[in-house]
Amino acid sequence: MTAPPDNNLYNAEHFINRELSLLQFQRRVLAQAADLAVPLLERLRFLCIVSSNLDEFFEIRVSGIREQIRLGGNIASTDGILPAELLALVSTEVHQILSEQYALLNDDILPALEREGIVFLRRGLWDEAQSAWIHDFFRREVMPVLTPIGLDPAHPFPRVFNKSLNFAVELEGRDAFGRVSNIAIVQAPRVLPRIIRLPDRPGQAPYTFVFLSSVLHTHVDEIFDGMHVHGCYQFRVTRNSDLFVDEEEVKDLRAKLKGELQQRHYGDAVRLEVADNCSCQMADFLLQHFRLGQTDLYTLPGIVNLVRMMQVPDRVDRPDLKYPPFRPGLPKSLGNRRDIFSVLHERDVLLHHPFQSFAPVIELLRAGADDLQVVAIKMTVYRTGTDSVLMEHLVRAAQKGKEVTVVLELMARFDEEANISWANRLEEAGAHVVYGVFGYKVHAKLLMLVRREADRLRRYVHLGTGNYHPGTTRFYTDFGLLTANEQIGEDVAEVFKQITGLGRASTLTHLWQAPFSLQPNVVAAIKNETEIARAGRRGRIIAKVNALLDPETIEALYEASGAGVEIDLIVRGPCALRPGIPGLSENIHVRSLVGRFLEHHRILYFRADGEDRVYLSSADWMPRNFFRRIETAFPVLDFQLKRRVIKEGLRSCLLDNTQAWEMQQNGRYRRKTPRRAAHSAQSILLAELAAES
């Protein structure tokens, strides 16, 4: 197994900081919310996605930086930035992003929604009838579930749930017991809706909403009867949500995780958000309580949790303000409802989601559960959701007595509870459930069915770049390969044997596997193109990944560029490589696509003197994927399918001039604009691959 490279071996000027690059991605998402070509309700959705992404950024990335500082860490990352310096840079960048985000919300999107009859009514604009209905709603639905806490020696500051909506109230006066407390905390229970739609009535906008924060602000004096309320301020705390499990101490991973999950909601605070009406005294009091500094305070001109507005597009029946619906298509080989085993016996099948349906994968598993000739099913599960037809088929197969083995990744971030629940159900049905190899997340996407045919066992395999999650396949771009190729089947069987059993890693015929051969093979393929170029022949590399951070891979790409290899990198998220620098990376171009669908597939293309080697993978080019996860990259061997991957997954992205952003040397991005005809990769693929509505 190759060890992760030592950061000290590299020139810091060659690299861009991961966290700052990730924040640049949030700017590209925010640009979608500002794009007038995007339907209005989808613009609102993109605005909310930025907030959701920033939440996770603070929960995981910023909490990691703060932990380094707490432990006295003074080691710079590959780009040469020290943790304390990075925390300050992150704070500055996020403050700028939030300023732009709320300006876009308040000055553009909300007025545009109002013109379409979708109104978020401020307190000062409620008429008499609306005020009466809201007051009744407060007395009937809100007041009974509130538990206000007046701070005094008998009532310490309550434990504030991660990302929950809370109110800090400034008070004056004595209560019924003669107590004097000038501060109280009101937590909004999770059972309460954050956005409330008012009943329809003549003269009112068709969709009129009020925020729960406005309702509580208006009637806070009723919560503290007889006291004088000086101010009521909404606030929200983001906490460290990363889980840590000590490999040397844990005996039962599932039991240990159950305990850790309960504490995730109360980790160390990493960010405080307050509304812009919050007094300086109250903000300082909250910062002191949560042990945060001024750079951790984010004052917002509006509601403190924009993520809650994500539900609005689904609650508004205005198709004209949303992306048009589409029906995913099917490859021609599967269009005549032939038995899926007979189809795969003849040829491989490539699925391109979301433009093509995920149904064939579900059908393969359904057929495996029902077919008497299928004797065993093995599957890796990283994310699948709480309601999964795939998992139901696995349960049914186990109940029917088939040999079902599920490698379930319990440490899939924010999906741990769902995966623990599925582990219980699968074991109750008689399936073998294993949790991979401790210390290595199982991120590979593998499904294998073993079927008895004519006195022999034949393997049918699905390998994918995305999760076995029917929900995300509707808006993540991913490739899936269905094949009965014997050598690939043997490789997949070997990977399962390594994960579930014990023994040394074997050499695989076709698959590249992390943490053993994936990164060395990627670097070797890059170096091969380098040698080809040095020999005077054409070297060509195209790679599409979600993140590019591995320093050894980046240095290999720099070397290839210096030899004259033409390199195009399509990196959706963070990218540590600096493109276009004379003498270092002048032959490297980096672009990012942000559009209706989340660009998610990982595709590797090496020209290899005309062989056109194409691999699909579950792994990004990051040290964690190369060295701390079990990942695979698998070749597309069929010539026609290889052509499809190059055309649909790579060339279309390189031709895109409407949703593509070109990375500059300093890590900033410039959006492509069409000079002549517009080319949108996602729109063209929808037209070519989706079924006619």
Integer CA distances (angstroms), 228 to 18, 146, 234, 346, in order: 49, 19, 18, 79
Query: Does residue 138 contact residue 215 with C-beta atoms inside 8 Å?
Result: yes
Q: How far apart are CA 382 and CA 156, in angstroms?
A: 40
Burial class (CB in 10 A: 0-12, 13-18, 19+), 315: exposed
Residues 579, 580, 585, 589: what is their CA dihedral angle, to the nearest 10 degrees?
60
Q: Which residues contact 412 (CB under 8 A, 6 or more apart)?
A: 382, 383, 419, 441
Over its C-alpha atoms, the chain yields an Rg (Å, rounded) of: 27
Token readout for 229 is 């309320």
Peptide bond into 515 cis (omega under 30): yes
Query: Does residue 682 contact residue 595 with C-beta atoms inside 8 Å?
Result: yes
Query: Does residue 629 contact residue 440 with C-beta atoms inside 8 Å?
Result: yes
Could you tell me which of 395, 380, 370 has the C-alpha nearest to residue 437? Answer: 380
In this structure, is the dihedral angle defined by the CA atoms of residues 10, 12, 18 and 21, taken in order, positive or negative? negative
Q: How far apart are CA 243 and CA 263, in angstroms?
A: 9
Q: How far apart are CA 151 and CA 184, in angstroms?
A: 6
Map residue 147 onto helix, strand or coil. coil
CA atoms within 13 Å, Cβ hemisphere of 510: 19
Query: Does residue 275 contact residue 300 with C-beta atoms inside 8 Å?
Result: yes
To the query of whether residue 219 is one of the catalytic residues in this protein, the response is no
Q: How far apart are CA 658 and CA 677, in angstroms?
A: 10
Q: In angstroms, how far is CA 62 from the centroid of its own chain?
A: 16
Residue count (the chain): 693
Q: How far apart are CA 275 and CA 430, in angstroms?
A: 52
Q: How far apart are CA 20 and CA 3, in angstroms?
A: 26
Q: How far apart are CA 76 and CA 19, in angstroms?
A: 13
Residue 662: CB atoms within 10 Å: 15
DSSP string, 280-308: HHHHHHHHHHTT--GGGEEEESS-S-GGG
Token readout for 533 is 């170029």
User: 616 — alpha (psi -120 to 50), left (phi > 0) or beta?
Assistant: beta
> Among the options 217, 352, 393, 443, which is catalytic?
443
Q: How far apart are CA 210 and CA 570, in angstroms?
A: 42
DSSP 146: -
Q: How far apart are CA 114 and CA 206, in angstroms?
A: 10
DSSP 139: I
Q: How far apart are CA 529 and CA 525, in angstroms?
A: 6
**Beta strand 432-434 pairing with 456-464:** unpaired
Q: How far apart are CA 60 and CA 63, in angstroms?
A: 5
* Cα diameter, the chain: 90
Active site residues: 443
